[in-house]
Amino acid sequence: MAEHKVTVEDLLRSPALQLRLLAGEAGVGRSVSWAHVSELDDPTPWLLGAEVIMTTGLGVPRAAARQRAYLERLDDAGVSALALSAQLHVPPLHEAFFEAAEARGMPVLEVPLAVPFIAIAQEVAAAVQEDARHRLGAQLQVFGALRWLAAEDLDTATLFKRLERLSGYDVYLCTPQGRPLLPGVPVPSLDALPSAPDAPPTIPGGFALPVPAPGGPAGFLVAFEREGARPAGLAVVQHIATVAALQVAMARHERETLRREGAETLAELLQDVLDPATARRRLARLGLAVDQETVLMAVRGAADDALRRALADHPHLMLRRGTDHYVLGSPTLGGPITELAGGPAGGLAGGLTDVRAGVSRPFPAGGSTRVARREAVWAANRAAESGQPLVHYGDDTTGRWLPDDAETLTALVDDVLGEVLAYDEAHDSRLLTSVRTWMERDRRTEDAAAALHIHPNTLAYRLRRFAALTGRDLSSSAAFAEVWLALQAARQLGLHG
């Protein structure tokens, strides 16, 4: 059977490929022996001639002189045409690049984003190696794949299952750390991953390729030949990696959009400007379970990225206010925050010992956050004072009986502790802190003095001074109870000695 030769012009005329000629019209009659994906700035050592080189643009230089040299290298190696994927990573192309293409008659083609490189590879393979009937069948198969991508709202798992059937490979994806990269696509065995992003792609039974992304690979694609299938080769696997890169970019954009919407929604919830029905609709759209109770957390000392990683597997809304983060989600959020802070005791290896968090009592999803915010801040203050990584509001058996009304709490604090607060502020003293520490240690003077780093006699003096200012004899059970409740109210209001 005579070998059929396809030309660049034949590819341009193919309705399935939708290619557009950018430059080099004089060379459209060049014959094509193969179509190959390459993201190298110099793939010529591996070329035989008459290839169509397809690229997402990662290997195309940015400078004008280097772009011209890149095109001239390909032309000198006998490349038939350069096909650039639209809307991916192609840098702005300079006039010198187009002038070189016109001068040499080197066709430069633009590939629409909706057309996978696999379509071009199969078009060339069918034209060169098979008869017209097989060529038509391959074109229909590729056209069907394009129709699936364009006309159906495919989830990621379904998309890659179809690419597997089309390519003849079992496809796996993972992050550089070996975690899932895209939902619904299985993770390969770690021993199948390349040792470096630029490692040779061939592995036993298939290929392993980086999934390109700005700043470095988003992860790796591993493709193993499926038994009984006709594997389509490295070029097809390279394009599947490009599809994966596009899906990752889309997923990241969607996550960032949801993150911004979540922050805006939480800001409105904290301002109490959303009615419960509207709030629940928004929470449901952002992935929170509206038929369960939620909690509000105030987190201190955590970097944005560290906190997002810790909460990545837990639906939540997050808003940064100054040095604090407010987080809304299910009551299970406390677990990852405790791990972020270094474990139950705090400060364990790998933990961030400066992270302190407070959690409100559970409340209905979409309900007012006015009380929950005060509770979370109070608990965060308590965590900072005690050194605990996480404090739940209500763990204190006395303070939980205090009313939620800020005016009532303020009246209690002013009546019992007003003189002491004024004295501490005027004299830069620590009477309130000293009495609180003494009471928290069950009135053990030596233990409290050690915690305060003062002599027991100094603490005894402060206790007497406190009693004189408040008019409460701390040896009296009634006075002691009143002072203790006032101290809890002051903490709930965010007042500290």
Task: Give the chain's length.
Answer: 497
- Give the number of other Cβ atoms within 10 Å of residue 281's Cβ: 13
**What is the residue extent of each domain of the chain?**
6-121, 166-253, 271-395, 406-492
Burial class (CB in 10 A: 0-12, 13-18, 19+), 341: buried
Q: Which of 314, 311, 323, 317 is nearest to 369 (CA)?
A: 317
The three-state (H, E, C) secondary structure of 164-212, written as one string: HHHHCEEEEEECCCCCCCCCCCCCCCHHHCCCCCCCCCEECCEEEEEEC
Q: What average pLDDT score do residues 153-169 get?
A: 83
Q: Is residue 376 within 8 Å of residue 325, measured between CB atoms? A: no
Q: What average pLDDT score do residues 439-451 get?
A: 90
Only one residue has tokens 């009984």, namely: 228
At 353 the pLDDT is 58
Query: Diameter of the chain by CA atoms?
Result: 111
> 3-state DSSP call for residue 89?
coil
- Angle (nearest 5°) at CA 405 between 401 and 409: 70
Query: pLDDT-derived band of residue 365, with 50, 70 and 90 as boundaries?
Result: very high
pTM: 0.47
Question: Higher model confidence: residue 300 or residue 350?
Answer: 300
Query: pLDDT-derived band of residue 141, with 50, 70 and 90 as boundaries?
Result: very low
* pLDDT tens by residue, 210-250: 998 888 899 999 999 888 877 777 777 887 888 888 888 88
Report CA-CA distances (Å) from 289 to 260, 310, 360, 366: 19, 19, 18, 10
* pLDDT tens by residue, 328-362: 999 888 888 878 776 443 333 344 457 888 899 99
At 396 the pLDDT is 60
Given a cut of 50, whether residue 150 has pLDDT beyond it is yes
Phi, psi torsion values for 174, nearest 5 degrees: -160, 165
Q: What average pLDDT score do residues 442-460 get?
A: 92
Give the torsion sign (CA, 488, 489, 492, 497): negative
Q: Is residue 176 within 8 Å of residue 220, measured between CB atoms? A: yes
Task: Collect all residues with Cβ–Cβ distance below 8 Å to 274 and sequence separation of at least 6.
Answer: 265, 268, 282, 366
Distance of CA 294 to the CA centre of its chain: 22
Amino acid found at 446: E
**CATH architecture classification, 271-395:** 2-Layer Sandwich (3.30)
* Terminal Cα distance for the chain, rounded: 94
Q: Is residue 298 within 8 Å of residue 270, measured between CB atoms? A: no
Report CA-CA distances (Å) from 31 to 2, 5, 339: 15, 6, 62
Provide the percentage of residues in the chain whose pLDDT is more than 70: 89
At 20 the pLDDT is 93
Question: Higher model confidence: residue 63 or residue 378?
Answer: 63
Tokens linked to 253: 């954009």
Q: Which of 335, 357, 338, 358 is nearest to 346 (CA)?
A: 338
Torsion of CA 127, 132, 135, 141, to 10 degrees: 160
Pairing of strands 31-32, 20-23: unpaired
Beta bridge partners of 161: none
Distance CA 320, CA 74 (A): 51
Long-range contact set of residues 407-413: C-beta below 8 Å, sequence gap at least 24: 409/489, 409/492, 409/493, 410/489, 410/493, 412/485, 412/486, 412/489, 413/486, 413/489, 413/490, 413/493, 413/495
Amino acid found at 91: P
* pLDDT tens by residue, 393-430: 877 666 656 776 778 888 999 999 999 999 999 999 99
Helices (H) and strands (E) in the chain, counts: 16, 17
At 109 the pLDDT is 96
HSE, side-chain direction, 13 A CA sphere, residue 325: 23
At 73 the pLDDT is 93
* pLDDT tens by residue, 78-101: 899 999 998 889 999 999 999 999
Fold classification of 406-492 (topology level): Arc Repressor Mutant, subunit A (1.10.10)
Q: Considering just the CA atoms, what is the radius of gyration of the chain in Å?
A: 33
**CATH architecture classification, 6-121:** 3-Layer(aba) Sandwich (3.40)
Distance CA 101, CA 160 (A): 36
Under DSSP, the state recorded for 92 is P
Does 6-121 match 271-395 in CATH topology? Answer: no
Tokens linked to 5: 């030769």
Distance CA 234, CA 223 (A): 9
